[in-house]
Chains A and B, each alone.
Chain A
Amino acid sequence: MDFSWDDEQRAFRATVREFLAAHLPRDWESLAHGPGTDWQSTFSKQFCGALAAAGLLVPHWPKRWGGRDADPWTSFILAEEMWEAGEPRGGQYMNVNWIGPTLMRFGCEEQQQRYIPPMAQGQTIWCQGFSEPEAGSDLASLRTRADKEGSTYRINGQKIWTSYAGHADTCFLLARTSPGRNGISIFLLPMDTPGITVRQIPSVIGEGDIHEVFFDDAAVPATAMLGEEGKGWEIVRTALSLERVGIPRFALATRMLHRAVDKLKQTGRFGIGAIEQAARARAACESARFYSYNIVDQRRHGLTVGAEASAARYATVMAERLVSEFVVEHVPEALAGADQMLLSHHQRAIVAGIASGAAEIQLNLIASDFLGLPKEPR
């Protein structure tokens, strides 16, 4: 067991940091860079283009698609540095983490040729059309329909909470082709297809993030289906397991905690109450870090990752909670115009226990699969 970084890993981290220093705008930390604003979406193409040119966008992808088959640690170090900097890749992190790899695995040649190169060049934005008004945690109950008419599918229904939909070129859409779990299929749906309406949802988490997406007889050719009809659920499970380790939220949480503490120290406000809460939050961040590292390590050694992934997610939720609560209580001015970076972090932190699967669902999985408790009756 070894807790140190090797020379190659250290050098890679330094390279990524140098890249960030050279490519982030000077006023980056004072900009409102919510993940889906107009500015961020435009900037993400410039930034990801430069990352791609430097070989830092998809190092973990196979050579055929512009990567260098880098190991899981490399992509995780990259993800840590990006998230800690405030995720300048915007929504494109989804492309590199799981959408690209899923197309490599399940897409046909034509789909791969059409969609993967723009991702590898950092020039395209996707959105993930899973959740619906009536299908949140119980995703398999989704209702958006895709009805076959000759060589076309007609899509009708509604998605909600869709991040980046306002700027997305393509939607990774789950729709129902027949009843039941085996009736869900995936479509790669161009967002300029007639019949699609996108409406932004005003929210406390910043501009441009979450949307409603309406489908009114949107027609796609059958060739837009990813994998076989009715296999969508299986594919999505595999796709998401490619990314079980999740976003390295602890990296930004840790940095923001230190930032908040520095502010308190500068003004002589780092008293005993704050000290105790800060220590607690810092330990929670470190716990989330090592839960996540453990998963990277398991993937590095070719092991299948099980319920530890849920434990890592939950540890991350606790860390985000403690840090954001610390800031709200001790540096409240951050939410009132005094520190854009702390504000942006707050807006990201509060969704940690909801976005990409609610915390309570993780707790259920931990109870059954990690602790081995008998399952709840259905």
Chain B
Amino acid sequence: MDFRLTSDQESLVEAVDKLALQFQHKPTEFHGFALVGDELESELRQGEYFDIAQVPEFGPLTAAMAVERLARLPFTAEIALSMLVRPQLPVDLPRPLAVVENGRPGRFVGTAKTLLVIEGERISIARPSADDVESVESLFGYPMGRLKRTIDLERLSDADAYATRKWLRVALAAEMSGLLKAAIDSTVEHLTLRKQFGRPLGTFQALRHRMAECAVLAGGVRWLMLKAAGTADDGDAALAASHAQESATRVAYEVHQMLGAMGMTLEHPLHLWTYRLKALLSELGGRGGQASAVAKLIF
């Protein structure tokens, strides 16, 4: 055990931080749901950030740190699957990637070059053309899309499906870890500035304790996801995804409570993170799905 970053990790985290700085703020004029970061996407591509997991000095653990950091931004792009899942697939496939789970709409499905199609235990790969997919309006902070028609599927072997599922779980936990942190940070700022009854809301213990619990949950998600990315263990991945979905349910509720009506607006960025969390809550079978995996892999 040694939790210091290696010098390679440190320099990558610094670089990602620097890149993230330009995308820190929601543009004031944006009053929509999915704030798509096309510029963010192109900067990541040009900097070859999508391939960091394949660089031996970095590996999936460093990629998970990058996913987490970038998920804290108000802008979104298809990052997590490209950085953490794509390198683990049996063949080299074009990004962006998206998951279609049991026929439901999914994040980035409308623009994906590669689809991972999950039907029960089975995972297949598809290469959609523009006519196969369409975007759908939603409350979620991601551009959502769906498959319009049946499409050629190439089924992954059981072993590949198994590994893919593991990295999907790590990617989910890494993304959720960043979203949780961003939602909490944004709420802490609000509680510090907003005054009622003559004092900042953050001085009221009823709120402080709940925020503290949220912070402990979010920090735990971060540890479990880093560990899963570091060990590449199936059980660790299931635990990380389980804790992420479990904690997100609680945190998404609490942070909205604490913002009052302001949290309902599209002006305030909170919904970008909480509705992304809500989108991720149901993925990979949701809490029940993760629990079954934990039962199978750990108990």
Residues of A within 8 A of B (CB): 1-5, 9, 73, 258, 261, 265, 270, 272, 275-276, 278-280, 282-284, 286-288, 290-291, 293-294, 296-297, 300-301, 311, 314-315, 318, 360, 362-364, 366-368, 370-377
Contact = CB atoms under 8 A, between A and B. Distances in A.
A114 B200 CA distance: 53
B188 A286 contact: no
Contacts of B208: 363-364, 367-368, 373, 376
13 contacts: A1-B2, A3-B1, A5-B1, A279-B291, A282-B298, A283-B220, A291-B220, A311-B216, A315-B216, A368-B208, A370-B212, A374-B192, A374-B202
Q: On chain B, which size bracket covers the interface? A: 35 or more
Contacts, number: 157
Interface stretch (B70-78, B104-112, B225-233): B225-233
A318 B294 contact: no
B254 to A, nearest CB: 13
A297 B227 CA distance: 15
Given A2-B230, A315-B220, 8 more contacts: A2-B3, A276-B291, A282-B299, A286-B220, A300-B2, A367-B208, A371-B184, A376-B204
A287 B288 CA distance: 19
Contacts of B130: none
Main secondary structure of the interface of B (DSSP, over half): helix
B155 interface: no
A147 B10 CA distance: 57
| Most interface-central of A1, A270, A284, A376 (chain B CB within 10 A) | A1
Given A373-B188, A377-B199, A314 B227 contact: no
Interface string B202-242: 11110011011101110111011011001100000011101
Nearest to B239: A283
B292 interface: yes
B9 interface: yes
A1 B213 CA distance: 26
Contacts of B2: 1-2, 297, 300
Nearest to A360: B209
Given A3-B227, A364-B209, A377-B203, A291 B219 contact: yes
| Most interface-central of A4, A272, A275 (chain B CB within 10 A) | A275
A283 B217 CA distance: 10
Given A282-B239, A282-B298, A314 B213 contact: yes
